[in-house]
Amino acid sequence: MSRSHPGLLAAARTISVPAAVFGAYALLFAQAKTPAAARATPAPPTLPADKPVGALEQIASFDGSMPTGVTVAPNGRIFVNFPRWGDPVPDTVAEIRDGKPVAYPDEAINKLDAARPKDTFVSVQSVVADSKNRLWILDTGSVKFAPVVAGGAKLVAVDLATDKVVKSIVFPPDVALPTTYLNDVRFDLRQGAEGVAYITDSSDKGPNAIIVVDLASGKARRRLNDHPSTKAEPKFLPFVEGQPMMQKKPGEPTKNLAMGSDGIAISSDGSRLYYCPLASRRLWSVATDALRRDGASDAEVGATVKDEGFKPAADGLESDAENRVYATAYELNSVLRRRADGSWETLVHDPRVLWPDTLSVADDGLYFIANQLHRQPNYHDGKDLRQKPYSLFRVKLDGKPVRLTK
């Protein structure tokens, strides 16, 4: 008791206070003499936390419809698209002007007209600008994932010099099946008279495939139809924002994701086509000469398929002139890059990257959409958990676009 107050000691000797009680009084007296600032509860130590990677720049924000696709033309013009999945969509294709989406090429063609599916946009899933100053528009022909309407599934080219449609390739029903969902497209303009397009069918209800289109004749055919590499992994279960992601619709049984071949990219020399099912953690490639070869059997095309190994679950793919492949890692709020030696590196990791969707390598960086796809009502018992705005981001890049042109 050498530190106790003398008065308390005297009181203890006189009244015979029990030691425990005396100790409590001594402590209260000491605290009363202590300044309030010294008695304050110390702040908890700063704990380690997840660190972002890459410097994100928001190029545009969207307070209305949810976007999926983006592309940047060689002259820097930026285009986006808004599929008709359930949101009100006044314009399914738009150009970003002064940070805002403007109907492209005009409002009339964007107006949904069920009586004229060949001449108007039904629901566009992807837009890709080529090196010949054209914007290619991939129309699914399907609203709210309903069966494809006759004449609606098509690939449309717009001349960016005149902003006029210069080509429209409508897919027949044996190419765009009723269950088909046309997802993304890549081009090699050196092949044939006018070039070739490769398109993924990511359907979660029917066969998946790579669709090969001769741009001169418009002839299209399904390759790798229902091949294992184009299919979702059985009972695939991703975790996004720390939560398991499954299809949960009111009044329906819960289902695993089943979207097949989705992301697509072409090698810098055009010899290999990379692709991945959305519901998968594998990257695949196939020889493009086999895809294009007349008379090649499914077995012959399939024999050129290569398992490129593990990757995080991805939606969009892209490539650059250095033969590197980019992938949107939607479970990790990240965008990754596969080096030419097959190893992966992280370009972007940020909590704002909520479901990175489509990628576009441009001369001034890598552009991508973050659209919160996983927060849609179909995955949350009918509750829409998305928070606007959706974003178009850019990150600086040391790579250049793949331009396969004669």
Among residues 187, 330, 338, which one has the least CA distance to residue 264? Answer: 187
Q: Which residues contact 404 (CB under 8 A, 6 or more apart)?
A: 131, 187, 188, 189, 190, 266, 270
The Cβ of residue 9 has, within 10 Å, a number of other Cβ atoms equal to 14
200-258 confidence digits (pLDDT tens): 999 999 999 999 999 999 999 999 999 999 999 999 999 999 999 999 999 999 999 99
Which residue has better confidence, 341 or 20?
A: 341
* Other Cβ atoms within 10 Å of 331 Cβ, number: 17
pLDDT, residue 44, reads 84
pLDDT in tens, 245-296: 999 999 999 999 999 999 999 999 999 999 999 999 999 999 999 999 999 9
Looking only at the bridges linking them, the beta strands covering 243-244 and 239-240 are antiparallel
Number of H helices, E strands in the chain: 6, 26
Asked which of 36-50, 113-127, 178-192, 294-308 is least confident by mean pLDDT, the reply is 36-50
CATH number of 57-395: 2.120.10.30
- Which class for 134: exposed (0-12), middle (13-18), buried (19 or more C-beta within 10 A)? buried
Taking the complete model, does pTM exceed 0.85, yes or no? Answer: yes
Q: What is the mean pLDDT of residues 145-174?
A: 98
Estimate the crossing angle of helix 19-33 against helix 6-15, to 10 degrees.
Answer: 160
pLDDT for res 20: 46
Tell me the mean pLDDT in the region 373-390. Answer: 98
Is residue 11 scored above 50 in pLDDT? no
pLDDT of residue 290: 98
Model confidence at 112, pLDDT cuts 50, 70, 90, reads very high
| Position 33 confidence tier, pLDDT thresholds 50, 70, 90 | low
pLDDT by residue (tens digit) across 351-376? 999 999 999 999 999 999 999 999 99
Across 33-42, average pLDDT: 61
pLDDT band at 28; cut points 50, 70, 90: very low
Q: What is the torsional sign of CA 53, 58, 59, 62?
A: positive
Q: For residue 80, what pLDDT is reported?
A: 98
Q: What is the pLDDT of residue 196?
A: 98
Average of per-residue pLDDT across 2-20: 44
Per-residue pLDDT band at 25 (split at 50, 70, 90): very low
pLDDT of residue 330: 98
The mean per-residue pLDDT over the stretch 164-173 comes to: 98
What letter represents residue 145's amino acid? Answer: F
- List Cβ neighbours of 381 (8 Å cut-off, separation of 6 or more): 248, 249, 250
Confidence of residue 34 (pLDDT cuts 50, 70, 90): low
Coil, helix or strand at residue 323: coil
What does the pLDDT read at residue 41?
79
- Predicted confidence at residue 109, as pLDDT, reads 98
**Residue pLDDT, tens place only, 67-108:** 999 999 999 999 999 999 999 999 999 999 999 999 999 999
Per-domain boundaries in the chain: 6-39, 57-395
The one-character DSSP state at 46 is: P
Report the pLDDT value the prediction gives residue 341, as an integer from 0 to 100: 93
